[in-house]
Amino acid sequence: MRHFATFDEEQERRLFLHPPQPVDVTAGRDELAVALGATLYSPATRERLAGDLLRLARRGVLSAVACLEDSVPDDRVAQAEEILVRELAGLARTPEWSHGQPLMLFLRARTPRQLLDVVDRAGVGLDCLLGFVVPKFGGAGQPDPREWLEAVATASERAGRRLWAMPVLESRDVAHLDTRHEALFAVRDVLDAHRDVVLAVRTGATDLSSAYGLRRPRGSTVWDVRVVADVLGDVINVLGRADGSGYPITAPVWEHFSSGERVFRTSLAASPFAEGAEELREQLIADDLDGLVRELVLDQVNGLQGKTVIHPSHVAVVHAMSVVTHEDFCDATDVVAQSGGGAMASAYRNKMNEAGPHRAWAERVLARARAFGVAREDVSYANLLQEQDEAWRRVRAGGRP
């Protein structure tokens, strides 16, 4: 399992200074969390879920969530459970899975009891799960967050291996200012007591926005919705600290996948789209994916990693934007090489690198470089997007990387 596995050897050599490294599902938390990339949600009501997941893996998806929660109508929950158990068993028996796990698959359950019930019924299908997404973690009127993490620990015992938890912060207790700090500190206490099973903290911008009757429109990012951006800032402050006490925090969902009437002109710069890629730029704008690019930049600036997505067209954009640029790699390697502190001009001669203050940032960059690779000096995210599209066409036509 590896990002950009659809690239052939010639593409890999031409695009990467250092190619992505294989993802080991038995690795530690930080290595696995940074490799999640675009996490695609699929409702568990999909009758051909197993086949869908395998097609997504061939397309480049490395992490997915089978959802039994908000995406499933209340009157179809029992049916969704039956479909999920059947499809997990079928997935476990496919040649692709038996020859090596093709993607990281998580289950999003409604309650701890449902989580354990599905685990008990899954049989061999349990082998396909890497963990669980825990919705509305710590919210008032929701299951006790300790029950969730204890259920994950119990599921791990039944599976005979560690299964991970990814709590989602999306409740009104976290959204509203008068309860937010107390709620976040309480969540931190619970997570710290179960640190060994917490893979990453996810953020639910859709539910956070709904606490104010809001929805970000096309052309706006989650960082433009000030009340939600304030929540994300506090989540990072309490749970994303770089002193060893924090957790990886993933970026919230991008929920648009087709264009409507535009109100604002695009801010997508033309310079990364060299001759021959102009059509790609126009397609990104037509599909509203220029907004996703902008939001991803702001996610990374604010320390978030990966992204929740709801459409396969988002995956290539998230992964292209996750590749470490040549400039960032040069800065990061220079910083970590300075063990005694001090400041220096960057290799690109356009900024100052300080070995002390920039070290935590540099270590995160190098961790991302291992998962997604380092682009060559003249390679932009637009080049990576274009090459992914060509590679996917080749795979669909029956070619191999």
More confident residue, 374 or 260: 374
State pLDDT tens for residues 379-389. 988 889 888 88
Question: In terms of pTM, does the model score above 0.85?
Answer: yes
Of 145-149, 201-205, 235-239, 395-399, least confident by mean pLDDT is 395-399
Q: Is the pLDDT of residue 284 over 90?
A: no
The pLDDT of 312-327, averaged and rounded, is 94
Residue 44: predicted pLDDT: 94
Residue 190: predicted pLDDT: 97
pLDDT band of residue 218 (cuts 50, 70, 90) is confident
Q: Is the pLDDT of residue 236 over 90?
A: yes
Contact 373, 19 (CB under 8 A): yes
Residue 263: predicted pLDDT: 55
What's the CA gap between 70 and 66, in Å, rounded? 11
What's the CA gap between 344 and 131, in Å, rounded? 43
Q: Is the pLDDT of residue 176 over 80?
A: yes
Residue 391: predicted pLDDT: 83
Average pLDDT of the residues of the chain: 91
State pLDDT tens for residues 12-60. 999 999 999 999 999 999 999 999 999 999 999 999 999 999 999 988 9
User: DSSP characters for 224-241?
Assistant: GSHHHHHHHHHHHHHH--
Residue 159: predicted pLDDT: 95
Query: Which own/partner pairs from 277-285 qualify as long-range (CB within 8 Å, at least 24 positions apart)?
Result: 277/382, 277/383, 277/386, 280/382, 280/385, 280/386, 280/389, 281/382, 284/317, 284/385, 285/259
User: Which residues make Cβ contacts (< 8 Å) with residue 268, sequence separation at least 6?
Assistant: 281, 284, 285, 290, 293, 294
The pLDDT of 261-266, averaged and rounded, is 60
High-pLDDT (> 70) share of the chain, %? 93
Residue 265: predicted pLDDT: 62
Residue 183: predicted pLDDT: 96
The pLDDT of 319-330, averaged and rounded, is 96
User: DSSP characters for 19-66?
Assistant: PPPPP-TTS-HHHHHHH--EEEEEETT-TTHHHHHHHHHHHT--EEEE
Q: Is the pLDDT of residue 193 over 80?
A: yes
Residue 160: predicted pLDDT: 95
Among 125, 113, 126, which Cα is nearest to 86's?
A: 125
The pLDDT of 358-370, averaged and rounded, is 96
The pLDDT of 192-202, averaged and rounded, is 97
Q: Is the pLDDT of residue 119 over 90?
A: yes
Q: Is the pLDDT of residue 77 over 70?
A: yes
Residue 193 DSSP SS3: helix
The pLDDT of 96-123, averaged and rounded, is 93
Domains for the chain: give ranges and CATH numbers.
Answer: 28-323 (3.20.20.60)
- The first and second tokens of residue 202, run together, are 């996810």
